[in-house]
Amino acid sequence: MAAVLRQAHFHFGGIALALLAFTATGHADGWRTTGWLYAQGANMDGYTVINGNRTDVNVSASELFDHLDMAGMMAVRSETDRFALTLNAVFTGLGADGAAGNGNFYDLDVTQDMVELAWSWRLNERHELFVGGRYQSLSVDLSIKRPDGTSGATDQTKSLFDPVIGARGAWPIGQAWTLIARADIGGFGVGSDFTWSTMAVLDWSLSRNFGLVFGYRALDTDYSQGSGDERFEFDMRVAGPLLGLRYNFSP
C-alpha cells in the first residue's frame, strides 16, 4: 500500500505542475480558465489475461464497497467563444479478490493512470466537438491460489497512447445549476484496440468563482498484445460516482 501511495503522489505531483502551467493561458486576452478537483468511487468490470492466466472481474452494486478504492481526478479547461483546450489527469487504484471459474482464488490489483489533452471546436455556447490524445499507464498485479494448494504471482505494466474524438455539451438549468455531458471514443488499434469514456455531471455554482460538481464517470479500455504464454489482455471498465470542486481562475 505504501508503494502505491508513493506512486500516486509522484504522478499527481508532476501532473499538478503541468496543470498549473496550463492555467497561465487563462491570462491571455479572450481566454477563460476553469479548474476541477474530483474524488471518484470506482469499481471495475471486465477481465485481464497475464501470461496465460485469465481473471474475470465483475463487481456488482451490492459488492461495490467491498472492492472500492478511490480515484483522484484533476482537469483544467481554457476556452474562448470559438475554441477550448482541456487537460484531464486521472489516477485510479483498484483491488478485487474472489473465485475464478476454474476454481482458482485470485487477488488482483490494478493501477491505471491517464493523462488526456483535447482541442475543441465550439459550435455554439452549449455544444462542441473535440479531438485529442489519451495516454494510459496500466499496471496489473495478480496472485493466484489453486485448489491443489499451489500458488503463483505475476505482473505486467503497459503504456499506451490513443487518439480520441468526442463531443461535449453544457446546458444551464436555472441560475445556479448546469448539466455537463462529455463522451469520446478512440484507440482504433493505435494503442488500445478500442477505448471509450463518458461523464455526466451537475455543476452547482456557490459563488462567482466556486462550485460543487456531482456526477458519474466511466472509462473502458480494451487492449491486447502478444500470444501464448506472453499474451497480455486488459478489457476493463472503470466507473463510478464522483464529487468535485470547481474554481474559475478568470475574473
Q: What angle do CA 228, 234, 236 make, to 5 degrees?
A: 150
Give me the phi and psi of 8, to 5 degrees please: -60, -40
Calpha distance 62→56 (Å, rounded): 17
pLDDT at 25: 47
Q: What is the extent of the structural domain holding 108?
A: 2-248
Tell me the mean pLDDT in the region 161-165: 97
Tell me the mean pLDDT in the region 4-33: 54
Calpha distance 76→249 (Å, rounded): 10
pTM of the model: 0.81
Q: Is the pLDDT of residue 124 over 70?
A: yes
How many CA atoms within 13 Å lie on the side-chain side of 134?
30
pLDDT at 102: 64
Close Cβ partners of 127 (under 8 Å, ≥ 6 residues apart): 167, 168, 169
β-partners of residue 238 are 44, 219
Worst-scoring range by mean pLDDT, 103-112, 153-162, 185-194? 103-112
Number of domains observed in the structure of the chain? 1
Mean predicted lDDT score pLDDT of the chain: 81
Closest of 193, 80, 183, 74 to residue 132, by C-alpha: 183
pLDDT digits (tens, 9 = 90+) for 10-22: 444 455 555 555 5
User: pLDDT above 90 covers what percent of the chain?
Assistant: 47
Calpha distance 30→111 (Å, rounded): 39
Calpha distance 55→46 (Å, rounded): 9
β-partners of residue 158 are 138
Helix (H, G, I), strand (E, B) or coil at 178: strand
Q: Are 90 and 113 in contact (CB under 8 A)?
A: yes
Confidence of residue 169 (pLDDT cuts 50, 70, 90): very high
Give the Å distances, CA to CA, from 15 to 11, 18, 94, 111: 6, 5, 20, 16
Tell me the mean pLDDT in the region 132-136: 95
Q: Are 122 and 128 in contact (CB under 8 A)?
A: yes
Say which CATH number the domain at 222 has: 2.40.128.90
